[in-house]
Amino acid sequence: MLKVDIVTPKGIVYTEEVESVNVPALDGEMGILENHMLVLTQVKPGLVYFNKDDKSGILIGYGFVDVTPEKVIILTEEAVPVGNVDLDEYKKMFEEATRKLADAKTAEEISEWQKKRDMAETFINIAKHFSPKIRA
């Protein structure tokens, strides 16, 4: 078994032992099993799911994943169980980021608002995929 912790600035969002975990790494999805080689890499907004069950999981924002043979720690700015996504909140975030991005003047501002917009868009799209009753 593999211990998985998902941690945000607000605290631990998830901690369980699982057989496998899939993580949205910056360079593509990573499937991780027990005794995986050491890895430290960036993660992007997307779905973290466990034991090959991609029908549920936890949405994460940008951050890092630290993999050891016995443990996976995901440090992310935001994490929400897929069934608990507040679509209105993320729609507002997307709209605000789009407005701010249009007015951004520095590379730092552009990067910050682009990341917020990408995360909001990813959360909205995945939430809608898992809840077909939800409409944009």
Query: Residue 57 forms beta bridges with which residues?
Result: none
Q: Which amino acid is at 122?
A: T
- Cα 18 to Cα 11: distance, rounded to the nearest angstrom: 20
**Domain enclosing residue 7, as ranges:** 2-82
Q: Do 6 and 73 sit in the same domain of this protein? A: yes
pTM over 0.75: yes
- Cα 46 to Cα 44: distance, rounded to the nearest angstrom: 6
Report pLDDT digits (tens) over 39-94: 999 999 999 999 988 778 999 999 999 999 999 999 999 999 988 889 999 999 99
HSE of 83, CA atoms in CB hemisphere, 13 A: 5
Q: Do 103 and 77 sit in the same domain of this protein? A: no
For the record, the structure tokens of 81 come out as: 């169980």
Mean pLDDT of the chain: 93
Q: Do 7 and 53 sit in the same domain of this protein? A: yes
Q: Calculate the CA dihedral of residues 15, 30, 83, 9 and round it to 10 degrees.
A: 50
